[in-house]
Every structure is written in structure tokens, then in C-alpha cells.
Amino acid sequence: MKLGVIGGSGQLGSTAAFLAGVKGLVSEIRLVDINENLLKSHVLDMNQALSAESNVRVAGAGYADLAGCDILLLAAALPERSVSSRNDYLKGNVEIVRGVCDSLKNYCDGKIFITATNPVDVCNYMAHSFLKWDRNKFIGFCSNDTLRLKWAISGVLNLGFDRIEALCIGEHGEGQIPLFDQVFVDGARKVLSPEQIVRVKELIGNWFADYQKLQSGRSPGWTSAVGLAAVIQALVKGSEKALPCSAILDGEFNERGLSIGVPCRLGKNGIEEIAQIKLQDQDEKKFRETAAKIRGLIRSGV
């Protein structure tokens, strides 16, 4: 399968492309970006590096070249700045998504479409509404929230990351919902104490503000590359295990008309199944509130 990355000169697009190349997840990677010289420098540099690592080759591309790709990753965005919420990018980034989708329509139909551009839930829904491909093709990338939840639990319990399973659903933003009844250590259900839950919530809750305070002008591209590689691998090879993705719901979780983080089984058709899980009362309440919030954001971005 071939991967096309729109916004391939950026932090997220380039790191995701590089890791997909190192891992040999796809046969070829095509990068599109308006910053052409930066794109050329990435293509030269990555091809040299990848010669030593895999058979995957990277090419600079235009929209017509994306017709030959099976999976598209949207990472085009306004430049990163210090913000209080990912929703601060909504207006500008929805316009970028609109422009990208207008260009894609001329060449592509029914591709698997991963949205990374923030705010992810809104941008994923808008991409679907602009392109009108089947909803199962649209995968909003939100698994960094689950990775950070596992990282926080691993720190609080002082256990290796690999021993922990956990799941965060909801908005990729302030409306994220860590499911503390879905924490497992070595495959066995683990009940965290109230003090441990408070500590984990502090770690994941403070993370975004602390990162923004650095004013680095770069998004967390390395974490995203790891998560996106897992998504691409699941799409190419199929996955038994559900991954958290922002999916366009049409009745699942009793919601419709939005994209929101839920557990999804991925395969060659995109989202092959949305796993239905029973939510605890307080999580269910927050899920409804968050869904209403995202629908409001979608209306404001139209």
C-alpha cells in the first residue's frame, strides 16, 4: 500500500512518514506541502536515511500523484503557536481542510483518510462532509490521549508501560474521557485508588498547558509518529485490538452527526468496527456533554 501525506514538510507529517518508512509499513510515501523547499529537503534527507533502514522510498508529490495512494494522512495546518485549546485553530484549519479536500476531489475517491489536523474531531467530520466518501474511511487521530494515559498510569503505579492497557475516549482536547474501569495490568483488571486516579488525572490534565508554556512552536511530533505508525500498521495488516480513533458516528454510542474518540477496529477498509462498550454513569454523562460540545464546534466551523 502507498501512503500520501498532506502537510508532509511539517513536524507531524514528516515524523510520521519517517517512522512509517523505517518500519516498512507501506511500499512508498508521497509527500505534499505548500512549503516546497522544506519538502525537497525532507525527501532528500529521508531517502538517504531510509536507504539504510528499509526499501521504502519517499517522493515529493502534487495532488494528482495522490491518486496512486491507498492511505492519505492530513497534517496540513496553520503554524503551531502557544494556545489555550486546540479549538483555537478551528477557523483557520477548517479552511485549510476545505482547500485540501477541494484539490483532492479532482483526483481521489474513497481513500482511507487519517485526519491529524487539530481540532481533530471537527476537522475529521468536516473532511467527511467535504469529500463525501464513506464515513468508515475517515479516521481522526487521537490515540496520543490513550498513550499519555498509559504513560501516567505507568508512572503512578511504577510499572512498565508495556504491562498496562487503558483507554481514553471523547474529544481530542479538554473533553477527553479516561476510562478508569478499562485499566488492565498484565491482562487483569486493575482498580486504581482514588488518590492514584487524582494523580493520573493531574498528569494528563496538566500536560497540554505545560507543553504550551514551552512556546516551542512544535507539536509533539514524536509521540504522534508512534501513534500514527500504529494506526497505519492496523490499517495495512488489520488489527484484532481496537484502537482509539475519532470516528464519525451514526447511532453508535447513541450519537450521530459528529466525529468523536471511540474504540475502533481498523483494517483495509478503514474503520471495520466501532467497539461498543458500556460506559460508567459519570463517563456516559461526560460523553454526552462532550458530544454536544463537538457538535457545537462543528456548527461554528461550517
Give the residue with the Cβ less far from ligand NAD, 166 or 190. Answer: 166
Using CB atoms within 10 Å of the CB of residue 70, give its burial: 0 to 12 exposed, 13 to 18 middle, 19+ buried: middle
Give residue 138's identity as a one-letter amino acid code.
F
CA angle (247 as vertex; 258, 101 as ends), nearest 5: 75
Residue list 206-245, contact with ligand NAD (CB under 6 A): 219-221, 224
Structure-block grid coordinates of residue 87: 479549538
Rg (CA), the chain: 19
Instruction: Choose which of 7, 173, 175, 301 interacts with ligand NAD (CB under 6 A).
Output: 7
Instruction: Choose which of 56, 96, 114, 127 interacts with ligand NAD (CB under 6 A).
Output: 96
Residue 165 near residue 143, CB atoms below 8 Å: no
Residues 6+ positions from 273 with CB-CB distance below 8 Å: 242, 264, 265
Closest chain position to ligand NAD (CB) = 10
What is d(CA 13, CA 31) in angstroms, rounded to the nearest whole number?
A: 8
**Angstrom distances, CA of residue 13 to CA of 169, 221, 281:** 23, 8, 38
DSSP string, 205-249: HHHHHHHHHT--S---HHHHHHHHHHHHHHHHH--SS-EEEEEEE
Give the residue with the Cβ less far from ligand NAD, 116 or 183. Answer: 116
Bridge partners, residue 270, by sequence: 267
Binding mask 97-126 for ligand NAD (x = CB under 6 A): --xx---------------xxx-x------
Give the residue with the Cβ less far from ligand NAD, 190 or 262. Answer: 262
Give the residue with the Cβ less far from ligand NAD, 106 or 193. Answer: 106
The torsion angle over the Cα atoms of residues 163, 165, 171 and 172, rounded to 10 degrees, is 30
Give the residue with the Cβ less far from ligand NAD, 117 or 259. Answer: 117
- Pairing assessment for the beta strands 2-6 and 28-32 based on DSSP bridges: parallel
Min CB(229)–ligand NAD separation in Å: 13
Q: Which stretch binds ligand NAD (CB under 6 A): 6-14, 155-163, 174-182, 200-208?
A: 6-14
Instruction: Choose which of 113, 133, 141, 208 interacts with ligand NAD (CB under 6 A).
Output: 141
Give the residue with the Cβ less far from ligand NAD, 19 or 190. Answer: 19
Bridge partners, residue 73, by sequence: 5, 114
Min CB(188)–ligand NAD separation in Å: 29
Residue list 32-71, contact with ligand NAD (CB under 6 A): 32-35
Min CB(302)–ligand NAD separation in Å: 19
Min CB(167)–ligand NAD separation in Å: 16
Instruction: Choose which of 77, 168, 249, 264 interacts with ligand NAD (CB under 6 A).
Output: 77
Interaction site with ligand NAD (CB under 6 A): 6-7, 9-13, 32-35, 75-77, 79-80, 89, 93, 96, 99-100, 116-118, 120, 141-142, 144, 172, 219-221, 224
